[in-house]
A and B are shown apart, each in its own frame.
Chain A
């Protein structure tokens, strides 16, 4: 029982640090105003390891936190990350998570999905740039986030998975 609680607590701490970094330290890695989406990567990581249900709830909670930190509409990121968690969770036991390609392709597809949903939803509330003008930032975000995931997953693997195995 203690082990489960300890693992949950550790994940909450990691999630909190990732959220804070996304609104501050990640700006150090900005290339042409594009930064990697660490929160999305964390949801993908969690969903791939825990499955649909946990992935979705993790996405909803982290998405809510992103909405609180953002100037956008409350609920948009909540919904997007919830969906990402849900659909990525479906891939649990279907893909080999340690494979190099999984680490690139899954975030790439999830990021593409999140951009499309964001665009479709945000058009109701915000005024967004025409899709054609935003194409380069979109592609940049997709590639940057997907490539950065190799490092991100390796760090999380060391922090979460390896330590958990040692504890068990």
Chain B
């Protein structure tokens, strides 16, 4: 009798296994988003508490950081003036060559309300969804650079797959040398730039930008800097570890590009 009971107990587990293996994952997305309603508001509150607590820990370093920022500000002001000059020159040259100008990005600002609960994937939950005009595959960035794309939408929330996730792929360019490669996530807040030819000129600190290929990410979005370069013995390509410019751990607001 007891043995039979134990056997019966396994039935729900087998049912769940069948659901996982048989039903196509994309058809369950609606079910997921409809259940997410129960978590949206409280999760948003919990995430605010987390951000505030994280900010509190930062206070310790605030004074030393202030001095660094002051010197950096002076450098940046100088660079900004130079860039302004170049911008006007660029504008004039565009007019002379009759090149079409790139339109400024249109975006929706969204707040981050949650993070991936597991250790193996990297995603965020934002408080804007279908009702606010968010669509699947919409690029998401913050003021430092690209952070990912929308993969699931609910009426008032969406999930963003971060570029550091193992399922993320972006066609990118090395800004300085225009070498093309594919950037894939490797977790732990880092990405790997693959398929760079062996003679590709890349240096530590080089900036990586989106190439605008594939129709998801527009061209020229800053992604990160090259942290290390690796050439495997006998390998056909060079690969680099890229650290995203925007810290993917404590994000508060993001911009969803239209």
Contact = CB atoms under 8 A, between A and B. Distances in A.
A124 B21 contact: yes
B232 to A, nearest CB: 14
Contact of B116 (A70, A79, A122, A128): A70
Interface string A40-69: 000000000000110011001000111111
Interface string A1-42: 000000000000000100111111111101011110101000
B43 A20 contact: yes
Given A71-B161, A82-B12, A126-B166, A118 B120 contact: yes
Interface in A79-104: 79, 82-83, 86
Given A23-B46, A74-B31, A128 B120 contact: yes
Contacts of B36: 68-69
A166 B179 CA distance: 69
Contact of A32 (B21, B120, B188): B188
A121 interface: yes
A76 interface: yes
Contacts of B159: 71
B87 interface: no
Contact of B19 (A65, A66, A71, A75): A75
B97 interface: no
A34 B158 CA distance: 24
A25 B161 contact: no
A24 B166 contact: no
A161 interface: no
Nearest to B42: A20
A72 B39 contact: no
B118 A25 contact: no
Contacts of B68: none
B91 to A, nearest CB: 42
Contact of A37 (B23, B25, B119): B119
B151 A52 contact: no
B39 A68 contact: yes
A73 B20 contact: yes
Contacts of B186: 129, 133
A21 B19 CA distance: 27
B114 A23 contact: yes
B99 interface: no
Contacts of B176: none
Contacts of B177: none
B189 A60 contact: no
A131 interface: no
A19 B28 contact: no
Contact of A28 (B25, B42, B54, B161): B54
Contact of A69 (B12, B117, B166): B117
A158 interface: no
Given A24-B46, A30-B249, A79 B17 contact: yes
Interface string B204-219: 0000000000000000
Interface of B: 6, 9-10, 12-13, 16-17, 19-21, 23, 25, 28-29, 31-32, 35-36, 39, 42-43, 46-47, 49-50, 53-54, 114-121, 123, 125, 151-152, 159, 161, 165-167, 186-189, 249
Given A24-B49, A33-B189, A124-B21, 4 more contacts: A20-B46, A24-B114, A68-B32, A79-B20
